[in-house]
């Protein structure tokens, strides 16, 4: 029996930040869109949680900021760190030319649920959960849609345009045969959580010591902790034993000593493999890659989510009219890459510089690190903190919403 066929204008594979934002904006502009999300919900332990001022500004432009900020979140208006015995405030967001001058720490599942709810207000938005894109349909030298697996069986989604938003291990970009330029990252991340208690400080986000680095994010009732290790070094950490790992964590953040036993086994510690790469070409006829599918970012600066969202906004701005007019072609897809590629290249270049000059240096030294002269300048001249705040908070070439709003309907 042949698979059931669904027809639409745009099929988006992946319900992460890029996919959900693009689906919402296209539906808002009256474009029929199907978004495929392979999971039954958006609950994931290790999604990034930083909503930067550039994304909050988009919510303001969409008229949604007040409702959005009713969701549980915490606010960070400065980023600081500890390098050896020196405390450094690196970025101050309070001077940004945006309506929200802070980073919101919000569970990504809440953010994605919010976008899904907004998309469902429009009649052309079709979100299909537990639907995983498994391959491309190619006809006449172009991509004509995707094959997907659902609990009810396999289906085909025929579309004028398919957009791969299925992450750094994208099934669709592999199926398309896209070349990937690997830039590399010197580290991986061990991700775990510890309970948060009243009186805990939320001041220090990053702590660098000899051959050690850890970041702690305040998630309300618990700390989300990211312990940085050398690339491929997890087996060596496990060989030294769980007690040694716990002792190292306490050495970095002594105030967690009374709850370090919450890391009961290695099952409580998850390895996140860091990759930095990008596609030389993001598109082929009928197919466009954006977000992590087009460019995997380093966790440095936590900008990956927001860069993916900027991709989605740029794609919606450029493609909504050709999609509605049924005239979308590869030249339109190339315009999206042209618009976003400069920001991606500059951001990755900055991330690699920090990886090589700060992270690699810290992981490879046995002496207690000293804050570099450049870092001390941020303490001596607070005005300088506005520069990293601008780069982290707004990014290179921030996008703005230029898509129209179609009529609403109730679902």
DSSP string, 77-142: SEEEEEETTEEEEEEEGGG-SSS--SEEE--HHHHHHHHHHHHTTSTTEEEEET-EEEEEEEETTE
Q: What are the residues whose beta carbons fall under 8 Å from the beta carbon of 284, sequence distance 6 or more? A: 142, 143, 176, 178, 330
Instruction: With CA atoms as reference, report the closest residue to 149 among 161, 172, 132.
Output: 132
On whether residue 76 sits in a domain, the answer given is yes
In this structure, the answer to whether residues 240 and 280 fall within a common structural domain is no
Position 83 scores a pLDDT of: 77
Q: Which residues pair with 136 in a beta bridge?
A: 146
Q: 73-102 burial string, b = 16+ CB within 10 Å, else e?
A: beebbbbbbbbeeeebebbbbeebebebbb
In this structure, the answer to whether residues 76 and 36 fall within a common structural domain is yes
On whether residue 36 sits in a domain, the answer given is yes
In this structure, the answer to whether residues 149 and 202 fall within a common structural domain is no
| Residue at which a domain ends, from 217, 249, 272 | 272
Residue 353 sits in a domain whose CATH number is 3.50.50.60
Instruction: Measure the CA–CA gap between 171 and 175, rounded to whole angstroms.
Output: 6
The count of structural domains within the chain is: 2
On whether residue 350 sits in a domain, the answer given is yes
> What pTM does this model have?
0.90
Domain that residue 24 falls in:
5-183+275-393
**Helix axes of 53-61 and 304-324: crossing angle, nearest 10 degrees:** 30
Starting at the earlier edge strand, list the strands of the sheet with 222-230: 86-92, 78-83, 206-209, 212-218, 222-230, 187-195, 270-272
CB 282 within 8 A of CB 337: yes
In this structure, the answer to whether residues 197 and 256 fall within a common structural domain is yes
Position 315 scores a pLDDT of: 98
In this structure, the answer to whether residues 268 and 349 fall within a common structural domain is no
On whether residue 401 sits in a domain, the answer given is no
CA atoms within 13 A on the CB side of 148: 32
pLDDT in tens, the chain (411 residues): 577 988 999 999 999 999 999 999 999 999 999 999 988 777 665 566 789 999 999 999 999 999 999 999 888 888 887 777 778 888 999 999 999 999 998 888 899 999 999 999 999 999 999 999 999 999 999 999 999 999 999 999 999 999 999 998 899 999 999 999 998 777 889 999 999 888 886 554 677 776 778 888 877 788 888 899 888 889 999 999 999 999 999 988 888 999 999 999 999 999 988 888 999 999 999 999 999 999 999 888 788 899 999 999 999 999 999 999 999 999 999 999 999 999 999 999 998 888 887 777 777 777 776 777 777 888 888 898 999 899 999 999 999 999 999 876 544
Instruction: Measure the CA–CA gap between 303 and 401, rounded to whole angstroms.
Output: 19
| Residue at which a domain ends, from 248, 272, 296 | 272
In this structure, the answer to whether residues 119 and 23 fall within a common structural domain is yes
In this structure, the answer to whether residues 139 and 251 fall within a common structural domain is no
Position 55 scores a pLDDT of: 96
On whether residue 399 sits in a domain, the answer given is no
In this structure, the answer to whether residues 139 and 204 fall within a common structural domain is no
Instruction: Measure the CA–CA gap between 380 and 378, rounded to whole angstroms.
Output: 6
On whether residue 295 sits in a domain, the answer given is yes
Position 232 scores a pLDDT of: 86
Position 410 scores a pLDDT of: 45
- Angstrom distances, CA of residue 315 to CA of 18, 123, 171, 257, 291: 10, 20, 20, 47, 11
On whether residue 85 sits in a domain, the answer given is yes
| Residue at which a domain ends, from 272, 294, 324 | 272
On whether residue 411 sits in a domain, the answer given is no
In this structure, the answer to whether residues 72 and 128 fall within a common structural domain is yes
CA dihedral (10, 57, 115, 216) in degrees, to 10, reads 120
Position 411 scores a pLDDT of: 44
In this structure, the answer to whether residues 266 and 295 fall within a common structural domain is no
Starting at the earlier edge strand, list the strands of the sheet with 295-296: 181-182, 277-278, 295-296
Helix spans in 7-46 (H): 17-28
Instruction: Measure the CA–CA gap between 17 and 56, rounded to whole angstroms.
Output: 13
Helix (H, G, I), strand (E, B) or coil at 152: coil
In this structure, the answer to whether residues 132 and 167 fall within a common structural domain is yes
Token digits of residue 105 = 């720490």
In this structure, the answer to whether residues 23 and 49 fall within a common structural domain is yes
Instruction: With CA atoms as reference, report the closest residue to 39 among 150, 115, 163, 146.
Output: 150
């Amino acid at each position: 029996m042949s698979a059931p066929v669904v027809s639409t204008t745009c099929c988006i594979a992946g319900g992460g930040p890029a996919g959900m934002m693009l689906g919402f904006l296209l539906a808002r502009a009256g474009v029929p869109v199907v978004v495929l999300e392979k999971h039954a919900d958006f609950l994931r332990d290790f999604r990034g949680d930083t909503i930067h001022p550039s994304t909050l500004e988009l919510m303001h432009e969409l008229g949604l900021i007040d409702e959005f900020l009713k969701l549980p979140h915490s606010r960070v208006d400065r980023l600081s760190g500890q390098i050896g015995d020196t405390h450094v405030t690196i970025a101050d967001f309070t001077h940004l030319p945006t309506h929200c001058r802070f980073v919101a720490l919000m569970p990504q599942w809440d953010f994605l649920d919010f976008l899904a709810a907004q998309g469902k207000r429009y009649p052309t938005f079709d979100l299909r959960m537990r639907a995983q894109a498994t391959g491309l349909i190619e006809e006449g030298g172009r991509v004509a849609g995707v094959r997907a697996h659902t609990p009810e069986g396999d289906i085909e989604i025929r579309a004028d345009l398919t957009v791969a938003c299925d992450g750094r291990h994208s099934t669709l970009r592999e199926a398309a045969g896209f070349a990937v330029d690997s830039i590399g990252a010197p580290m991986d991340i061990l991700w775990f959580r510890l309970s948060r208690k009243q009186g805990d400080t939320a001041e220090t986000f990053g702590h660098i010591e000899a051959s050690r680095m850890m970041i702690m994010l305040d998630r309300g009732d618990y700390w989300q902790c990211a312990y940085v290790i050398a690339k491929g070094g997890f087996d060596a950490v496990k060989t030294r034993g769980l007690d040694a790992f716990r002792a190292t964590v306490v050495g970095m953040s002594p105030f967690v000593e009374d709850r370090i036993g919450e890391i009961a086994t290695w099952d409580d510690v998850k390895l996140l493999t860091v990759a930095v790469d990008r596609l030389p070409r993001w598109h082929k006829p009928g197919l466009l890659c954006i977000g992590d599918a087009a460019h995997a970012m380093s966790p440095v600066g936590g900008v990956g989510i927001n860069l993916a969202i900027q991709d989605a906004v740029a794609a919606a701005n450029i493609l909504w009219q050709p999609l509605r007019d049924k005239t979308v072609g590869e030249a339109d897809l190339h315009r999206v890459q042209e618009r976003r590629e400069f920001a991606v290249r500059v951001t990755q270049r900055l991330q690699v510089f920090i990886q090589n000059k700060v992270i690699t240096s810290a992981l490879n030294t046995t002496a207690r690190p000293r804050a570099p002269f450049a870092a001390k300048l941020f303490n001596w001249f607070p005005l300088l903190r506005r520069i990293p705040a601008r780069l982290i908070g707004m990014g290179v070439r921030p996008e703005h919403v230029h898509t129209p709003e179609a009529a609403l309907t109730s679902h």
